[in-house]
Amino acid sequence: MKTKLSFANPAKQNEKSRLQIFEAIERVVYSGNYILGSEVQDFEIAFAEYIGARNCVGVNSGTDALILSLRALGIGHGDEVITPSHTAVATVAAICTTGAKPVFVDVDLDTFTLIPELAERAINRRTKAIIAVHLYGHPCDMDRLLELVDRVGIHLIEDCSQAHGAEWNGKKVGSFGSVSCFSFYPTKNLGAIGDGGAVLTNNDELAERIRLIREYGWDLNRTSLEISGVSRLDEIQAAILKVKLADLKKSIERRNEIAMLYRNGINNSEVILPTTSINAIHAFHLFVIRTNIREKMIKDFSRLEIFPGIHYRKPVHAQPAYLKYQPMDGDSLANTNHLAATVLSLPMYPELDESDVNRVIEGINNVQS
């Protein structure tokens, strides 16, 4: 019987570090310190150093990282934030949660990331920020986006939830914008065993403000200086993440090796392979192909016990909760709509061996329209 292959397998990733993870959990349990203690502080320091940022603030999730970042930048009712619609709902939900309006722009078909020229056209006097989503692990064009936000005087927020370890011109994503937001959802390149997230910034004052609003607006004396909820990275999750951070570089290298095997082995005229910009190191959180015979491919794969994913079948602007945020030009999201109908995420995680990868390749190459 063939082993099932899914687009992600966090259990296999955790098995690799099982003993160290159990030791980390036991350390926290016996410490008696369970909320915002030394484990969170140690991980924040280590992750900031890995990314190359001055500050890291651990929070409850990647979604909360975006919400707190927007709040800390003073973005809310009456403001607009430019973002792609071809992204996880979390990106847009965070904007709406603050009361701001998402303004959708199209993405590039090759890199799946926001097109800077279209972002520039969407800017008006209400625009306060661009959220650049490094989707699937491919960096956005940071050169053009940084030039744009500097010129017009708005903020650049990096959504790095799928891009741990990705680089642009030799510099880690997450170190460019006013703030950057990471998710540690279990399937991510750096995944917790539960929820988790972080905000990184090179602005010390902004980091202090985010620390304030992640916990009731408290100062050091637990006096609420403003109304806020709570969003804390858990001590146990922080301890687990620090264990797994030690293997992240090797994990990214293995993801790129698997991507190369796919690129060299897949030979089907019905398939368009992902590309990587010459300026980028792709983190390959997902290996996403495009095909017009997606449903046929999924059906044929299931017979081989291969279960790919679709990220994302319905773009955010087409979902019922967000229909009121339609772009003015109905054709302006043509690439986004095309991707929704054609993208397919192949199995991609470091624990895949060559026989697993070859099984996927053979399955693709045998699918005919």
Whether the CB-CB separation of 33 and 42 falls below 8 Å is answered with no
Query: Residue by residue, what is the 3-state secondary structure of the chain?
Result: CCCCEECCCHHHHHHHCHHHHHHHHHHHHHHCCCECCHHHHHHHHHHHHHHCCCEEEEECCHHHHHHHHHHHCCCCCCCEEEEECCCCHHHHHHHHHCCCEEEEECECCCCCCECHHHHHHHCCCCEEEEEEECHHHCCCCHHHHHHHHHHHCCEEEEECCCCCCCEECCEECCCCCCEEEEECCCCCCCCCCCCCEEEEECCHHHHHHHHHHCECCECCCCCECCCCCECCCEHHHHHHHHHHHCCHHHHHHHHHHHHHHHHHHCCCCCEECCCCCCCEECCCCCEEEEECCHHHHHHHHHHCCEECECCCCCCHHHCHHHHHHCCCCCCCCHHHHHHHHHEEEECCCCCCCHHHHHHHHHHHHCCCC
- Check if 188 is active-site: yes
Catalytic residue among 128, 172, 188, 244: 188
Token pair listed for 196: 């988790």
Give CA–CA dist 30/28, Å, rounded: 5
Task: Tell me the CA distances in angstroms from 3 to 296, 302, 344, one per residue in order.
Answer: 21, 12, 20
Which amino acid type is present at position 79?
A: D
Exposure b/e, 73-111, CB count within 10 A at least 16 = b: bebeeebbbbbbbbbbbbbbbbbbebebbbbbbbbbbeb
Helices 18-31 and 235-245, packing angle to 10 deg: 150
**Active-site annotation, residues:** 188
